[in-house]
Amino acid sequence: MDGNSPRHKQFLDPRIERSRRVIRQAALIEFAESGYGGFTIESVAARAGVGRSTVYRLWGTKLALISDALEVLNEQPAPDFTAARTREGVETLLRHLSETLAGSAFSACIPALVEAAEHDAGVRAFHHRYSAVRRQALTDAITAGIDAEELSPTIDPDLASLALAGALFYRRLMCDKPFDPGQVCDLVDAVLGPG
């Protein structure tokens, strides 16, 4: 039975789910502090207060644990494209991203993830897939804005999503201050044109 099926979820033991949550949080902290090379299942287990056999049983490898923690603990909002203005969906996604990058467990992991992707093909494949899937929501929001004639039909949705998200990641990785979530509307205007 698929572990993500609705029927399976109703039978999950709350203690196991609590352990999974604690281990995932410990994994992100450990990854941010130690990087991929210094990250061990043993150190995560100690940080989470569980046996290492529990972590190995649930995830098996450190990449499986890190990728699961990043996927589960960094939830992306799902903008409602049936709303009056799909541009608001673009702004919602960017505001969430800018707030996440300003200070979160995920944000602290970004340098370690980038560094690990440079040296490990498995991490690189995960990083590229993870980034592409998450950026797709932004591309879809821009496409919806074009389809609704709220945005110019000359905009390339994929290029625009790279420009918008890229500005936030650049500020996180290359500048002394993260992007201010209060400037999201200005950034959207600069890339997509005034609303």
pLDDT tens across 134-187, in order?
Answer: 899 999 999 999 998 999 999 999 999 999 999 999 999 999 999 999 999 999
Residue 19 parent element (H or E) = helix 14-38
Pair 63, 87 in one domain? no
The answer to whether residue 1 sits within a structural domain is no
Sign for the pseudo-dihedral over CA of 66, 68, 72, 75: positive
Q: Are residues 79 and 140 in the same domain?
A: yes
CA distances from 87 to 32, 119, 149 (A): 33, 38, 10
Q: Do 11 and 52 belong to one domain?
A: yes
Instruction: Name the pTM for this structure.
Output: 0.79
**Mean pLDDT, range 102-121, rounded to an integer:** 91
The DSSP 8-state label assigned to residue 181 in this structure reads G
Longest dimension (CA), the chain: 56
Look at residue 6 and tell me whether its pLDDT is greater than 50.
no
Name the pLDDT band for 5 (thresholds 50, 70, 90).
Answer: very low
